[in-house]
Each structure stands twice: as structure tokens, then as C-alpha cells.
Amino acid sequence: MSSGMPLLAIVALPFIGSLVAIFLRQNARNGAAFLAGTIAFCCMVLTGFQYRAVGRGGVLRLSVEWLPTLGLDFTLRMDGFTWLFAMLVTGIGLLVVLYARYYMSPADPVPRFFAFLLAFMGAMLGIVLSGNLIQLVFFWELTSLFSFLLIGYWHHNASARDGARMALTVTATGGLCLLVGVLLIGHIVGSYDLDDVLASGNRVRSSSLYLPALILVLLGALTKSAQFPFHFWLPHAMAAPTPVSAYLHSATMVKAGVFLLILLWPVLSGTEAWFYIVVSAGLCTLLLGAYAAIFQQDLKGLLAYSTISHLGLITLLLGLSSPLAAVAAIFHTINHATFKASLFMAAGIIDHESGTRDIRRLSGLFRFMPITATLAMVAAAAMAGVPLLNGFLSKEMFFAEAAAFHIDSLLDHSLPYFAMLASAFSVAYSLRFIHGVFFGPPATDLPRTPHEPPHWMRFPIEFLVLACLLVGILPAMTIKPFLSTAVRAVLGPDTPYYSLAIWHGFNEPLLMSVIALIGGIALYWALQRHLKKGIDGPPLVRHLKGQRIFERVLVTLSWKWARSLERLFGTQRLQPQLRLLVAFAVLAPLWPLYRQGLEAGSRPGTAFDPAFLLLWIVGSLCAIGAAYQAKYHRLAAMVLMGGAGLVTCITFVWFSAPDLAITQLLVEIVTTVLILLGLRWLPKRIETAGEGLTMGVRARVRRVRDLMLAVASGAGMTLVVYAMLMRPLPDTISRYFIENAYSEGGGRNVVNVLLVDFRGFDTFGEIVVLAVVAITVFSLLRRFRPAPESVAAPEQQQVQDAHDRASLDRAVGDTLADYLTIPAVIMQWLFPVIITVAIYLFLRGHDLPGGGFAAGVTMSIALVLQYMAGGTRWIEARLRIRPILWMGLGLLCAASTGMGAWLFRHPFLTSYFQYLDVPAIGKVPAATALLFDLGVFAVVVGATVLILIALAHQSIRNPRPARRAYTPTMQAVAKENA
């Protein structure tokens, strides 16, 4: 283990470069390419230097603690295998950047392209170098995201958008599965650290969670690597610019799935489930991909299917669970990246220089671009597995493994034949690529006259083809040390003996190769006639379109089902929502009740008092009456509700809660005033005669159902409350509050000490909420538009005015003015009295029932009474009440009292108290909590008065009526009554 700082640089540099590239000018093609190239080069060189450390089997690590309690650290890690992959990502990245510099049109926003490309490179390096599984999944999803952005780079193009969306949906869903799988693995192992996981292979494989974890991880890997049945997204991803196809969709991102399988190979492989799932997925993909590739008319489509098929080959190898197969898989991963990237770039050049990628239109290009053609031919030969090229070596290893014996099953026995068949297919499509494009009569109807590309555009291909040749001819001198480091890092002590030689003598694999080559040529020749017809897509399975199935599934999921769910649970209608909530609340407790039953409590009950029963008979009648009357007789309902409130209030007194009783009583008063003020603006609802007869069946059903729900929830509450009351009170924190209320808080009224001292922070929150509500009400009412029906003066007032008009000695409005003369005088006289009561309640609050809340409500009642007595205009001419100021000062007072504690280095809202000797009164307690309570008082006064006055002001505001939103028809009225 040595310093891992370079690892951080390797991962971070591309992201930084991406950020910089975003800010380049739209047309800064050279600048962006230069930036991207430099970064890729730096990363590659940095990675290269690490070989000294990992080449001898070492592991580089960098760990930064992030959430140690959850086992989540930011960990970067590099061993021989990941080094090789990082080299692949950075090296091919550099070549692709160079290529893209010439490929991209100056008309495109090129800096954005390079920004995405660099960010992708960073994400890919993040996957490769992650030392933590969750972190790996994070980067995994990032690659999906950047792949989405890159595929959709030409977003004006519908097929690019569709392809991008499909790729994202498939790979990101797979990533989600992978996340769950990784969580399961982490759960089994007890750590997400890759080294820990790699060391616990046996534990994972023997766990009962192995199979779900395996399936989920495989879902992630197989979707990413476009394996059957998730392969369909890759051909559609070809709508991306060709550098993207070369880089993401052949060399790197699609290899992430394979990379993960290799990475976790020591942990997950070796079981039957692994063999059957991975081998069959790989085999299907190998055969289907190769078969479909033969019949593609689009050059990139052919390459895409061929990529799918080669990825299938690698997956198949990994599924075999033998160390030699793993070697072959790693080797083929590298080889495929080299020849396929160069082929994609060649296809891009052909497209770029001739204007089309359609094999039916392309022909005889050899004479226009001989160098490119030669390079492409070598690369295609490597793809077909022709000797002296790198593809041949790994294909030989594949054949050897396919022929070897693994698990006694039909699948295993048939492998060699399928391997040869797939190989013959690959020869056929390679031939098609070469023969169809470069040979034959020169094409005549091309959009552009083809010619050789600029030299530097061709350079990446030259380089990669040279690599194919060197590896193919001199494997021992070129790739061997790197490959063996990588293999040792994955397989450890299980590393088998293998030889990288061109000639192993006449053996089974060579025979298979020869058969496949000859078979492939024969197949291509035999298919000539069919291919001439120019039908797109392979015969037999042409109609089995993954895309169409995908679209249908997507529509079903995201449209049909979503719509049904929305209909069921949507928030458009309140009643079904509430009904669901209530039903759930009623049903949910049944489960614990069923599991554990209900036993009677042991607490002795309180002695029965008939008066209490009588009290609640009245209270219950009030509640039920309110429920019954609320539709047509709002005033009655309000009065009845007040009755229930009063009974509640008496209950508080009865059971030792004087503070609650006072507050409840006072709040009851303001609530009544509030609703009365509101009723003025609520048009009457007239009960029509014989309503019960017109009520429909559905309405009846609804009522019965609601009644049942209501009764059930009431019964449930009764049961819960009774069960709770009959159980002894456990020892709670209340003991602490009672014992310390006086010694710590300096007050004898424990409830008040709790509010302003022990739980002062909660109370602070409460008064903030109160202030917010008051301001909301105020602002809602500023542009209040009442219903058109209630704009005119109320009925009673109209009668009074008519009476005034009829009497000779009265002016209009006299009755209204005289209406409350005597009570008004009393109310005005009461003003100072009530204020005194408020002050009294406030001051005694800390020791006796009372306090800021009660005093505040009392004070607001005093003010509201004046409004009722004198009328809004009268009172406001005499007394300026500024409730917002009250609230502001109150909040300020409470907050600054709390913050005052900071001056003495105590936490927010720590209180302080002592006794002061006031002349003539004697010792009085003075606590900072009193100041806080003053704040509470002021906020409560301000908020209550603001709400009530804002509503009262509507009467003198002469508001504009709202435009009629809808006119009730006879039909609607009938329904309304239901």
C-alpha cells in the first residue's frame, strides 16, 4: 500500500476539465479538443506511472473518511487489473479526443461535447478505481447519465433523443438493481469496502441472500453490457456521434458490465446459478448479436450488433467460472476495445467523407481511400479472428475453453458447436463490412465524393491497428506482462498457466478456427443473393423487436398504470384521499392487535362521578349535533361545537389542568368571533324540501360508508384511549421537570416553566408558526374576492335599513348604530379591566396558572371587544393597533432573550433567574424566562388580532366580487344535494 494521491488526480482531472470546457465559447473547437486531449494525456501518463506500484502485485489505496458510521468512505483503489482498465479508458479516450477534433463539425457546440466526454471519462475512471461498492454504483449511474447526454448530443434529432432515453432507462434501471445487489452484498459481508468484499467470497456464496444479490448484480452488469435480453438499447445508441460510439459503446462503458463481472468474479462466480445465468445470457447474446450483425444495412448498426455479440462472448467466458476462461475474458476485453474502436472510427470516416453509412449505397471505396480501407480490413480481420492478429489469440483461448468440460449439462456440451457457429457468423459480417464497402464497382450516388481524411483523424486508427498487429504477432513482448499483472490481481493464487503464443500446434481450437473461417466465408457467399435484396434486419427474428416491446412496457408502466394509480390515489379530489387515510388509520392498528391481543390494564380507575357522565352526555350531543348541522345550519353547528369545546374545557379543570382550561376557554372565545366574522362571507346554503328523496343510490352508499368509517375510528379511539388510561404511567422525563422546575427554572407552575424554559425552543417554534399563519391570513385577505352572493349587505342589515327608511324620525343606519348601545358601553368600560386581567395572568404565569399564551389571547379579546362595541371605524379612529409590530417585537424579544444566553456562553435559550427585592412588594422572582414569555405574549396578541381584524376589515372594504367561476345548473344542484 502506498500513497494514492495520483489516483485522486486521475479521477478528478477529467471532471475539472469538464467544468472548464463548459465555460469555453461555443465555437472553441480547438481549445476544447486541446483541453480534453491534455487531460486525457495527463491521466494516461499518471496511470502509466502507477504501474511501478501495481506491476508487482501491489494495491494502491486512497481512503477519505466520509460517513464512517455507515461504512461509507471515499476510497480509490488500483490493482493490476484496474490499472489495465484505466489505461484502456484513458488511452482510447485520448485517441477518441484526437479523432473527435476532426470528426465534429464546427457548427456543433463542440465544447459541450468535450465537456460531456471528459465527465464521462471521469465517471468511468471512477468506476474502475472505486474501492467502495456504493461509490462504484454512484459512478456507474454517472456513466449512464453522461452516456444519455452524449447519445442525445444532437438533440434536434428525434432518433437521438429516443435512443438516449432508451439507453438511460435500461442502464439506469440496471444500475438501480445493482445498487440493491451491492447493498445485499454489503449486508452479507458487513462492509462495502472492495478489499473486504473480495476477501469474503465464501461467505457471500454460502449466504442465503446470495441468489438475490447475484441476480441483482447481474441485472446491473447485463443491462450495462447490452446482454440479451437487454441488448436492444445499444443499436439505438448509435444515433450518437461516432466518437461516442467508439468510446462509450464499444470500448469502455459497455465494458463496465464485464468489468464488474470480472471484478466480482472471485466473490460471485463458481456456483451453478452463476454458470447457468451468465453462460446462457452470454451465449444468447453471442449468437443473436452475430446473427443480427450480418443483416444490418447500417455500418454502425453492424458494428453495434457485433459489439453486442463480442460482449456476449466475454460474458460467456466469465460464466464458465474457470480461471483460464477468466484470462481469456480479460484478454478479449482489451483486444475487442482496440479493434472495435478502430472499426467505429473507420466507419465514422466513411460516413464523414462519403455522407452515408448505408452499406447498400457504399461500394468500391478502396480506390478512394486506400489507407483507411487497409486499416479497416486489418481491424475487421482481427474481429473475425484471423491469425497473426490479436483477435485470433483470444478467440483461440475462447475455443479452448468452450471445448473444455465444466458442468455436466446440455448447455456445456453444446458450447463448442455454438462457439463455432457464432465465430462463423462473425467471419461473415466482417467480410460483409469489408467486401460490401471497399470492393465492388465504385459507388455513384454518394452525397459526397469520398477521399482520405486528414492524417490526424486517421492517426488513432493507425495506432490501434498497429496495436492489433503487434499484440497479434508478438504477444509475449507486448501485452503479456500487463495481462499477467491483471490476471494475477483478479485470480490471485488461482492464476493458471497459460501461454500467449501464435502457434500451439495442431489442436482442437485451431481446427475449430479453421472450420469457423471456412464456414464464415461459405456463409457469406451463400447469403449473397439475400443480402442483395437490401432488406434491413435479420430474417426470422426481424419482427421480434426489443425496441417495440420496450416502448410498450414503458407506455404501460409510465402511462396506463400511472394513470390508474393517479385515478386511485390522485390528489385531485380530497374526499377519496381522506377516506383512504382514515381507512388506513383504522385498519393499521388491527395488525398489532391481531399479533399481540389486548389485555386489560392494571391501573385502578378514578372514582366515578355521575356529574362527569352527565357533562359528557351534553358534550357528546353537542359534538354529534355539530356534525349533523354543519351543512345547512352553520351558526347552530358553530354554537354546538363551542359547547363541545366548553365541555372539553371543564374536563381539563376536572383532571388537574388549570392552564389548559384557561387557554381553551379563551381560545374558544376568539374562535367563535373568528367563525362569526367568516360566516358573513359564506353564502347561505338553503335546504331544499324533500332532499332525502332525490338522493341517489351512490350518495347513500357513500354516506353509509363514511358513517361506518367514522364509527369505526371513534370506536378505535375509545379502545386505544381506554387501554392507555388503564395502564400505570411509566416513569418518564416528567419526573425531572417536576423536581427541577423550581430549582432550575425558578417557577412553581411546571407547565409554564416547561413552555418558557425547559422546552423553550419548541415554544419559540410555535410562536413563529403562529406569526407565519397570521401573516398568511393577512395576505390572503388583502385581495379577497368574496362570493358574488354575499357582496350585498346581510339580510338583517337590509331589514334594519328598510325600517330606518320607513320611519320618519330615523336616518338610515341608526338601527345598526343603536343595536348594541348598552352592551357597547359595558364593553368599553371593560377594556381596562380585561387588560388588567391579561397583565395579571401574564405576571402570575410562572407560579400559578396563566402565562403568555393565556394573557395574549385575553389581551386580544379586549381589543376585539372594542371592535365589536364601537365598530371598526370608531375604534381605529381612536386607537392605533399595529399587530404586525406586536408580532415583530414579540419574536424579537423572544429570540433576543434566547440569544442573550450566548453572551454568558450558554446555549440558546438558557434561562437565568434570581429574586429581586422590590420595595413595598417584597421578594419577587425575576427570570429571563419572563422576558421570553413576554415575547410569546406579544406574538399571540399580534397574531390573533391581525387575523381577526383582517377578517373584520372586509366589511368596510367594499370588496369586489369574484367573477362567477361557474353557474350551477339544475343538474348540478340536484347532485350538490347528494
Tell me which of 733, 822, 903, 970 binds another protein, using CB under 8 A: 733
Give 964's DSSP letter.
P
DSSP for 84-130 reads HHHHHHHHHHHHHHHHHHHHS-TTS-HHHHHHHHHHHHHHHHHHHHB
- Residue with Cβ nearer another protein (159 or 776): 776
- Peptide linkage before 235 cis (omega within 30 of 0): no
- Residue 829: which residues within 8 A CB-CB, separation 6 or more? none
252 φ, ψ (degrees, to nearest 5): -120, -70
Question: Is residue 609 near another protein by the rule CB under 8 A?
Answer: yes
Inter-residue contact 234 to 303 (CB < 8 Å): no
DSSP for 171-204 reads HHHHHHHHHHHHHHHHHHHT--BHHHHHHTHHHH
Inter-residue contact 102 to 55 (CB < 8 Å): no
Question: Is residue 22 near another protein by the rule CB under 8 A?
Answer: no
According to CB under 8 A, which residues from 161 to 180 bind another protein? none
- Residue with Cβ nearer another protein (57 or 714): 714
- Residue 95: which residues within 8 A CB-CB, separation 6 or more? 341, 459, 460, 463, 464
Tell me which of 5, 511, 725, 833 binds another protein, using CB under 8 A: 725
Inter-residue contact 259 to 85 (CB < 8 Å): yes
Least distance to another protein from the beta carbon of 906, Å? 22
According to CB under 8 A, which residues from 542 to 601 bind another protein? 572-575, 578-579, 582
Q: Write the binding mask 768 to 787 for another protein: x where contact by CB under 8 A, - elsewhere.
A: -xx--xx-xx--xx--xxxx
According to CB under 8 A, which residues from 942 to 961 bind another protein? 943-944, 947, 951, 961
Least distance to another protein from the beta carbon of 657, Å? 5
Among 429, 432, 423, 383, CA closest to 402 = 423
Q: Write the binding mask 375 to 414 for another protein: x where contact by CB under 8 A, - elsewhere.
A: ----------------------------------------
According to CB under 8 A, which residues from 52 to 91 bind another protein? none
Least distance to another protein from the beta carbon of 921, Å? 19
Question: Is residue 418 near another protein by the rule CB under 8 A?
Answer: no
- Residue with Cβ nearer another protein (280 or 651): 651
Stretch that binds another protein, among 69-77, 358-366, 487-495, 719-727 (CB under 8 A): 719-727
Tell me which of 600, 693, 729, 921 binds another protein, using CB under 8 A: 729
- Residue with Cβ nearer another protein (191 or 671): 671
Question: Is residue 697 near another protein by the rule CB under 8 A?
Answer: no
Residue given cell 461504512 in the structure block: 71
User: Can you tell me whether residue 405 is helix, strand or coil?
Assistant: coil
Question: Is residue 624 near another protein by the rule CB under 8 A?
Answer: yes
Helix (H) or strand (E) holding 271: none
Cα–Cα distance measured from residue 308 to residue 235, given in angstroms and rounded to the nearest whole number: 9
Least distance to another protein from the beta carbon of 680, Å? 9
Alpha helices in 233-298 (DSSP H): 233-236, 242-246, 253-263, 265-268, 272-294
Least distance to another protein from the beta carbon of 819, Å? 24
The count of residues interacting with another protein (CB under 8 A) is 126
- Residue with Cβ nearer another protein (176 or 615): 615
- Residue with Cβ nearer another protein (414 or 620): 620
Least distance to another protein from the beta carbon of 743, Å? 8
- Residue with Cβ nearer another protein (494 or 789): 789
Least distance to another protein from the beta carbon of 894, Å? 14
Stretch that binds another protein, among 359-367, 522-530, 629-637, 898-906 (CB under 8 A): 629-637
Least distance to another protein from the beta carbon of 911, Å? 15
DSSP for 331-369 reads HHHHHHHHHHHHHHHHHHHHHHHHS--BTTT---GGGT-
According to CB under 8 A, which residues from 640 to 679 bind another protein? 641, 644-645, 647-648, 651-652, 654-660, 663-664, 667, 670-671, 674-675, 678
Cα–Cα distance measured from residue 797 to residue 167, given in angstroms and rounded to the nearest whole number: 71
Least distance to another protein from the beta carbon of 876, Å? 21
DSSP for 282-338 reads HHHHHHHHHHHHHT-SBHHHHHHHHHHHHHHHHHHHHHT--HHHHHHHHHHHHHHHH
Inter-residue contact 221 to 261 (CB < 8 Å): yes
Question: Is residue 796 near another protein by the rule CB under 8 A?
Answer: no
Among 287, 268, 288, CA closest to 278 = 268
Tell me which of 154, 498, 722, 831 binds another protein, using CB under 8 A: 722
Stretch that binds another protein, among 179-187, 203-211, 289-297, 722-730 (CB under 8 A): 722-730
Would you state the torsion angle of the CA atoms of residues 148, 149, 150, 156, taken in this order, to the nearest 10 degrees? 110
Stretch that binds another protein, among 213-221, 316-324, 841-849, 904-912 (CB under 8 A): 841-849
- Residue with Cβ nearer another protein (501 or 780): 780
Inter-residue contact 18 to 36 (CB < 8 Å): no
Question: Is residue 514 near another protein by the rule CB under 8 A?
Answer: no
Among 405, 260, 248, 391, CA closest to 313 = 391
Tell me which of 606, 796, 798, 836 binds another protein, using CB under 8 A: 606
385: left (phi over 0), alpha (psi -120 to 50) or beta: left
Tell me which of 726, 835, 868, 881 binds another protein, using CB under 8 A: 726
- Residue with Cβ nearer another protein (429 or 737): 737
Q: Residue 556 has which C-alpha cell?
A: 404501460
Among 225, 289, 294, CA closest to 435 = 294
Question: Is residue 737 near another protein by the rule CB under 8 A?
Answer: yes
Question: Is residue 840 near another protein by the rule CB under 8 A?
Answer: no
- Residue with Cβ nearer another protein (555 or 725): 725
According to CB under 8 A, which residues from 119 to 158 bind another protein? none
- Residue with Cβ nearer another protein (563 or 960): 960
Question: Is residue 741 near another protein by the rule CB under 8 A?
Answer: yes
Q: Would you mind telling me the total number of residues written for the chain in this entry?
A: 978
Residue 779, number of CB atoms within 10 A of its CB: 10
- Residue with Cβ nearer another protein (454 or 765): 765
Q: Residue 724 has which C-alpha cell?
A: 392507555
- AA identity, residue 748: R
Q: Residue 18 has which C-alpha cell?
A: 469538464
Stretch that binds another protein, among 15-23, 276-284, 458-466, 631-639 (CB under 8 A): 631-639
Inter-residue contact 672 to 638 (CB < 8 Å): yes
According to CB under 8 A, which residues from 752 to 771 bind another protein? 754-755, 759, 762-763, 766, 769-770
Tell me which of 682, 826, 918, 956 binds another protein, using CB under 8 A: 682
Question: Is residue 526 near another protein by the rule CB under 8 A?
Answer: no
Stretch that binds another protein, among 84-92, 217-225, 589-597, 725-733 (CB under 8 A): 725-733
Tell me which of 713, 828, 872, 955 binds another protein, using CB under 8 A: 713
- Residue with Cβ nearer another protein (523 or 777): 777
Helix (H) or strand (E) holding 849: none
- Residue with Cβ nearer another protein (469 or 630): 630
Residue given cell 434491413 in the structure block: 536
Residues linked to residue 700 through DSSP beta bridges, in sequence order = none
